[in-house]
Structure 1
Amino acid sequence: MAKGTQAGPFVLFVMGLIFAGAGLALVYYFGQDIKLNCARSLNQCVIEKTSAFGDEEIEEFFKLSSLAGAQVIEKKDSEGDYTYEVLLITDQGRVPMSDFSSVDHNLHKMNAEKINNYVRSLEESLEIKQSGKLIRIIGFVFAGIGGLMLLGFLLGLLRFVIRLVRQFN
């Protein structure tokens, strides 16, 4: 056998682990749903994160009276592409609405406008949701590809074991 073919199953196993791990990490860390809830009668705003696995966590709690508005900031990544995120402007400083930015400028602009309109209005409540659904889909596709690679490795291993058993019988 050539040396390259001997490395095949090992490479398939390692690549499967990398793809599955990267996909699940993407889902866990970036596939969250973010929700901003503000209630004028309670004078409070809460930023909640819900993971793809249903874990809910209150990320930030602040008084509505400290909220001055929101703005969209633009970041340039190492490849020169732009990403955007919403920052809430409060008395304590700027609070990011989520832990990550995205390329959807229109969504962030629309959310910042909703927040700014709410601050200027007398509306009782505000609820804004940012879905991590697309990131979860991409993550699960990567995890699925990794799972198929691992399955291919296991099937190859099973064939190898069956051949060994047949040789000794």
Structure 2
Amino acid sequence: MTGRIHVRGQGGQVVALDLPLHPDIAKRLERGQLRRVKPDGSLYEEHERPLDAPDLPENRPALSALKPAWVGWAVKNGMPVDEAERATKDDLIEKFGVKHEAQETDEQRAAREATEAEEAAKAQAELDQTKADAAEAGVSDEGTVDEIRARIAEKQNQ
């Protein structure tokens, strides 16, 4: 999920807004001054999954997974899409994360753990490659992958 909703304002214009919403915008939406719609302007049903939403995950995402994965997991476990998108990642993890695992079967747990191990290995390989690229470019390899890549790009643009 993209973390974006569309609303129709008082003037009738459809506007895309990134989540989480600014508190003032959220209040206007709650008061009915703005109305949630689909990107084409048609009415949005409260519990409807967006057309561009990816398939819901089969297994609980890793704790390090991005928020959209947790939104998908929450929706799969019965939370309305709007509510899941408004929640913070930490809230979703608290409600559908580790405590929720007690309901997992051994097969589900094994599949989740295999997925987590695979994601961790991919992340480590990406970090290792980015650090190698940083060494080649002659820039610091400290920080996140995105920070290192930014330094590499900056160096290449000089």
TM-score w.r.t. the length of structure 2 is: 0.25
> Which of the two has higher C-alpha Rg?
1
TM-score w.r.t. the length of structure 1 is: 0.24
The structure whose RCO (Cα within 8 Å, separation 6+) is larger is 1
